[in-house]
């Protein structure tokens, strides 16, 4: 075992993310990067392919630890769950007080909180860091969402800032909060990512089914949208995907891919946590469910067989694509508003001092949801951090109002044409729910009181009441009742 201690940082896990992050680190002035992967062939492959990186390759975990200068810093980029635990244990056994273990994978933030607690008594710092940007972002600059202690961020912050994406002259990294905050924020990022992808998918479906456009023409529409307020990485790559032609068949790529979406779990976590926090994130939930519905081929085939006929698509007029763009924008505002509501609720529950404007800023570059739009969100939260929802920020309130008629036309057209738009329609229903003078929740309260004596409050005076539904139907004031 060598004990050369020449590397100032190390990366464990050299699949797409880890190998690119290691290359990104190695490309920065002053860094010497140690690399280790459970299957050594991956390490050998990386080192052979990138001699310019000057990696210190370790064949064993002991060699890896020995190659790190003290205090040691190692970034873990392995499969979330058991794989991450295995590597954390290996490092924690060998690290000393003051050393830092960074988990840069997509860990569940609850696991991160537990891991930090477990490791804290050893004096080793454990830091959960959300990293977004995929393969390309990891190499050229991701958006980085570190949690963990403020003390560990003092060491880690400059290193992370040196490899992060830069937006408007600022590195896309900030200490988002303590313990699991980084992975919580990454989870919400991914939830929003799901919603955004679903909305873009619905826009494509409408342009194709109702608008009658072929994929290459829709690519042109998306490319045009990408020059305006909808500009984003996801719109940009959608145009590229729609232009892709399958070399084997000559068909559009999008027509030869099985229409069953996969997922790795972060969207589900977002919805599960939002349910626990009592935050309505319908746009994100619909996106998760839409993937689940797509992956039910037997049910889809059965209903297709039993459906008597499918509606004829409505006729699209000249302004149809513009209407879709407006509906997409308004629905996106709702999805982001819901995501930021979940950020706030998580911060309150877990005691994190999260700044929503800083989160919006670090999502402006490097990550999958990077978009022009995020400048506006950052401005909205900088101008007034206490707005109750993004939908009340003047810029977004105006944008949604201006697009509202188009949004309603699109949801109606989709319903009449048989095009599923769970994202667009749930976003519109959410908006209408918030904007309505009265909601049928009053009737729900009546039902709850009728069958379960669950009580209700009145609009005209304080107190808690119950109607004697199975008696003479008079109302009793139960405000001070002990039952
Ligand atoms: N792919 C992406 O776009 C993004 C991924 N992430 C997250 O980054 C992390 C890495 O992602 P990605 O690069 O895609 O790789 P994978 O999630 O596919 O994980 C593969 C890596 O994990 C290692 N591994 C798995 N189990 C163990 C174990 N028990 N002990 C040691 N090592 C183990 C593998 O080693 P071996 O070679 O020996 O099998 C390999 O290096 C994941 O947590 C992922 O969720 C975050 C942002 C984007
Ligand atoms: O974290 C990411 C980007 O930010 C990953 O790409 C994520 O794993 C994608 O999730 P899924 O596989 O569930 O679509």
Cis omega (within 30 of 0) for bond into 355: no
Tabulate helix, strand, coil % of the chain (nearest 5): 55, 10, 35
Span from the CA of 368 to the centroid of ligand 2 (angstroms): 9
The predicted pLDDT at position 4 comes to: 80
| Ligand 1 center–CA 223 separation, angstroms | 33
Instruction: Inform me whether the pLDDT recorded for 171 exceeds 80.
Output: yes
270 Cβ closer than 6 Å to some ligand 2 atom: no
Q: Quick one: which of 69, 71, 81, 174 has its CA closest to 129?
A: 174
3-state secondary structure of 355: coil
The pLDDT, as a whole number, for residue 1 is 47
With a 6 Å cutoff on the Cβ, whether 367 touches ligand 1 is: no
Q: What is the mean pLDDT of the chain?
A: 96
Point out which residues pair with 73 in neighbouring strands: 100
pLDDT higher than 70, residue 166: yes
How far away, in angstroms, is 453 Cα from ligand 2 center? Answer: 45
Taking the C-alpha atoms of residue 143 and residue 75, their distance in angstroms, rounded to an integer, is 15
Q: What is the per-residue DSSP string for 225-250?
A: HTTTTT-BHHHHHHHHHHH-B-TTT-
Is there a catalytic annotation at residue 193?
yes
**Rounded-to-integer distance, Cα 131 and Cα 13, Å:** 14
pLDDT-above-90 percentage for the chain:
97
CB of 78 closer than 6 angstroms to any ligand 1 atom: yes
**438: CA distance to ligand 2 center in Å?**
39
Residue 2 has pLDDT above 90, yes or no: no
User: pLDDT (tens digit, 9 = 90+) per residue, 334-362?
Assistant: 999 999 999 999 999 999 999 999 999 99
Q: At CA 189, angle to CA 18 and CA 392, rounded to 5? A: 160
Q: Quick one: 415 exposed, middle or buried, by C-beta within 10 A (0-12, 13-18, 19+)?
A: middle
168 tagged catalytic: no
Bridging pattern class, strands 73-76 and 100-103 = parallel
Distances (CA, A) of 92 to 100, 109, 304, 417: 9, 19, 54, 58
For ligand 1, whether the C-beta of 129 sits within 6 Å is no
Please tell me if the CB atom of residue 16 comes closer than 6 angstroms to any atom of ligand 1.
yes
Ligand 2 probe mutation, 79, 103, 105, 190, most atoms within 8 A of CB: 190
Candidate of 193, 260, 270, 366 to mutate for ligand 2, largest count of ligand atoms within 8 Å of Cβ? 193
Q: Is the pLDDT of residue 5 over 90?
A: no
* Per-residue pLDDT, 482: 76
Catalytic residue among 44, 168, 186, 361: 186
Instruction: State the DSSP H helix or E strand holding residue 22, giving kind and residue range, or none if neither.
Output: helix 16-26
Tens digits of per-residue pLDDT, 230-250? 999 999 999 999 999 999 999
Residue minimizing CA distance to atom 47 of ligand 1: 132
pLDDT (average), residues 190-210: 98
Indicate which ligand has the atom closest to the C-alpha of 77: 1
Please tell me if the CB atom of residue 99 comes closer than 6 angstroms to any atom of ligand 2. Answer: no
* Residue 3: pLDDT over 90: no
Q: Which atom of ligand 2 is nearest to the CA of 367?
A: 4
| Band of pLDDT at residue 483, cut at 50, 70 and 90 | low
Mutate to test the pocket of ligand 1, among 14, 15, 76 (most ligand atoms within 8 A of CB): 15
Residue 48 has pLDDT above 70, yes or no: yes
ipTM above 0.95, yes or no: yes
Q: How many whole angstroms from 278 Cα to the centroid of ligand 1?
A: 32
């Amino acid at each position: 075992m060598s004990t050369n201690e020449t590397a100032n940082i190390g990366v464990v896990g050299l699949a797409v993310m880890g190998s690119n992050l290691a290359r990104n680190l190695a490309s920065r002035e002053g860094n010497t990067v140690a690399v280790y992967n459970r299957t050594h062939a991956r390490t050998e492959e990386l080192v052979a392919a990138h001699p310019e990186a000057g990696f210190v390759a370790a064949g064993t975990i002991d060699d890896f630890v020995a190659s790190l200068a003290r205090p040691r810093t190692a970034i873990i980029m392995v499969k979330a769950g058991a794989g991450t635990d295995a590597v954390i244990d290996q490092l924690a056994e060998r690290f000393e007080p003051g050393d830092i273990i960074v988990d840069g994978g997509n860990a569940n933030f609850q696991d991160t909180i537990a891991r930090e607690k477990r490791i804290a008594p050893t004096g080793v710092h454990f830091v959960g860091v959300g990293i977004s940007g995929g393969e390309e972002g990891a190499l050229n600059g991701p958006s980085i969402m570190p949690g963990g202690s403020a003390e560990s961020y003092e060491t880690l912050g400059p290193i992370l800032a040196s490899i992060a994406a830069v937006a408007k002259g600022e590195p896309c990294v900030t200490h988002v909060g303590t313990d699991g905050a980084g992975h919580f924020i990454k989870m919400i990022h991914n939830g929003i990512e799901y919603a955004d992808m679903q909305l873009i998918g619905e826009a494509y479906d409408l342009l194709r089914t109702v608008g009658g456009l072929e994929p290459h023409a829709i690519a042109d529409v998306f490319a045009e949208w990408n020059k305006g307020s909808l500009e984003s990485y996801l719109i940009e790559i959608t145009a590229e995907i729609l232009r892709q032609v399958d070399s084997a068949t000559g068909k559009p790529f999008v027509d030869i891919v099985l229409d069953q979406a996969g997922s790795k779990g972060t969207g589900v976590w977002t919805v599960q946590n939002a349910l626990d926090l009592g935050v309505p994130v319908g746009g994100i939930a619909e996106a998760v469910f839409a993937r689940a519905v797509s992956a039910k081929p037997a049910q889809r085939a059965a209903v297709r067989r039993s459906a008597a006929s499918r509606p004829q698509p409505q006729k699209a007029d000249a302004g149809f694509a513009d209407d879709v763009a407006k509906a997409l924008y308004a629905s996106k505002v709702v999805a982001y508003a819901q995501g930021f509501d979940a950020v706030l609720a998580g911060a309150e529950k877990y005691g994190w001092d999260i700044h929503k404007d800083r989160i919006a800023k670090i999502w402006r570059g490097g990550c999958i949801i990077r978009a022009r739009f995020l400048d506006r969100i950052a401005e909205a939260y900088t101008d007034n951090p206490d707005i109750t929802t993004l939908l009340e920020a003047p810029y977004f309130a105006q944008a949604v109002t201006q697009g509202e008629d188009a949004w309603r036309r699109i949801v109606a057209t989709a319903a009449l044409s048989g095009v599923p738009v769970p994202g667009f329609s749930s976003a519109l229903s959410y908006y209408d729910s918030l904007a309505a003078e009265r909601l049928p929740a009053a009737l729900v309260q009546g039902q709850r009181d009728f069958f379960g004596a669950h009580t209700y409050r009145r609009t005209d005076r304080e107190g808690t009441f119950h109607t004697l539904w199975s008696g003479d139907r008079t109302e009793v004031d139960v405000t001070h009742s002990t039952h």
